[in-house]
Amino acid sequence: MAKTDASAEQRIAAVRAFNRFYTQRIGVLREHLLESPFPLTGARVLYELAHWPAGGEPATATVLAARLALDEGHLSRILRGFEQRGLVRKKASTADARRKALVLSKRGREVFAALDARSRKDVAGMLGTLSTAGQERLVEAMRSIGELLGQPSVGTRPQRPPYLLRPPQPGDIGWVVHRHGALYAQDYGYDERFEALVAEIGAHFVQHFDPKRERCWIAEREGEIVGSVFLVRKTKTVAKLRLLLVEPRARGLGIGRRLVDECVRFARRSGYRKLMLWTQSELDAARHLYALAGFRRVGEEPHESFGKKLVAETWELAL
């Protein structure tokens, strides 16, 4: 099997494993959800009816089936059971008297309120086993899954937690080396020689650090490192931007552009006349950031490094 096919199979297996874990973790495999008389589908129908927007499209069986992607016959049996329990009633639509809108009865609202309270309690219990940072990571991961799979936005999206830029601390250079090695292998197929190069750059920065002319910025979000960049001295008048990285889960927040801007501002304050960098033609996201900051490409050269045939590019910014 080809390498790409093997990778695809691994991703499929990972998604299936997560689905099995999560459905068991939240109890949807049980015959009755949240110790209620209802299976998952029935509880979801109650939820939709309880949250149906007033003044909008009537909650007819056809519309509800389409919204939940349910077979109309299956939904009809669920609704029939709800009517027999006195949870749901039908009323003529104000827009069209021939159409019957579904609404929760008083008893239906009471039953849903109890079900909703149990659900909130269960989720709070699950979150309570995690630290605050862990809870934020979990919620952000779930939000990312929803976005990637096309989950529609509901109301105003909560503001994303901010990030901060700080100087490096003990252990941070090791993180930079590790994440460059892991991500470039994953995304571009670079071998361990790229990680070795990053380690050399990081070691040289620490061993020969000039606090007046050089800087490293570490981006941190929710207590975790999510990015880095280095500004190092090349000559008295030329500085180099190196090792720009933003974690995949933190992309789209403006962190990469901010890291590049910090390098440019510091280089200007430090009296450099030119800022340059070396990158590869396939690193489109990084090249886009450099172009936005005003860099221009001044040279390119094919080479074979890190187990691949590449095209190196030199970019410069006059300060």
Beta bridge partners, 227, equal 219, 246
158 found inside a domain: no
Same-domain status, 131 and 55: yes
The predicted model gives 44-73 an average pLDDT of 79
Output the six-digit token pair for 232: 């190092």
Beta bridge partners, 91, equal 101
Same-domain status, 192 and 231: yes
Same-domain status, 286 and 310: yes
Q: Which residue has the higher pLDDT, 192 or 51?
A: 192
> How much is the pLDDT for 39?
77
Same-domain status, 181 and 97: no
Q: How far apart are the first and last CA of the chain?
A: 51
153 found inside a domain: no
Query: Which residues, including other chains, have CB under 8 Å from residue 267's CB and lie 6 or more apart?
Result: 231, 239, 275, 319
Confidence bin at 227 (pLDDT 50/70/90): very high
Distances (CA, A) of 254 to 224, 229, 309: 17, 14, 31
Same-domain status, 189 and 251: yes
Last residue of a domain, one of 122, 148, 174: 148
Same-domain status, 177 and 262: yes
The predicted model gives 146-157 an average pLDDT of 59
In this structure, what DSSP letter does residue 45 have?
H
pTM: 0.54
CA–CA distance, 179 with 110 (Å, rounded to integer): 51
In the predicted structure, residue 154 carries a pLDDT above the cut 60: no
Residue in 105, 112, 101 with CA at minimum distance from that of residue 43? 112
155 found inside a domain: no
Beta strands in 2-157 (DSSP E): 88-92, 100-104
> How much is the pLDDT for 81?
86
Range of the domain at 210: 163-318
CA–CA distance, 62 with 275 (Å, rounded to integer): 62
- Name residue, tokens 């009755």: 32
Count structural domains, the chain. 2
140 found inside a domain: yes
Q: Which of 33-37, 51-55, 249-253, 293-297 has the lowest mean pLDDT?
A: 33-37
Same-domain status, 23 and 125: yes
Q: What does pLDDT average to over the chain?
A: 85
What's the CATH code of the domain at 244?
A: 3.40.630.30
Q: Which of 83-92, 95-104, 112-121, 278-287 has the lowest mean pLDDT?
A: 95-104
Contacts from 248-254 at CB under 8 Å and sequence distance 24+?
A: 248/183, 249/140, 249/141, 249/144, 250/163, 250/219, 250/221, 250/226, 251/285, 253/160, 253/163, 253/221
In the predicted structure, residue 184 carries a pLDDT above the cut 60: yes
Beta bridge partners, 220, equal 164, 225
Last residue of a domain, one of 148, 178, 203: 148
Output the six-digit token pair for 311: 């095209």
Q: Which of 38-47, 153-162, 187-196 has the lowest mean pLDDT?
A: 153-162
In the predicted structure, residue 92 carries a pLDDT above the cut 70: no
96 found inside a domain: yes
What's the CATH code of the domain at 38?
A: 1.10.10.10
Q: Which residue has the higher pLDDT, 228 or 96?
A: 228
Q: Which residue has the higher pLDDT, 296 or 111?
A: 296
CA–CA distance, 19 with 178 (Å, rounded to integer): 29
Same-domain status, 51 and 196: no
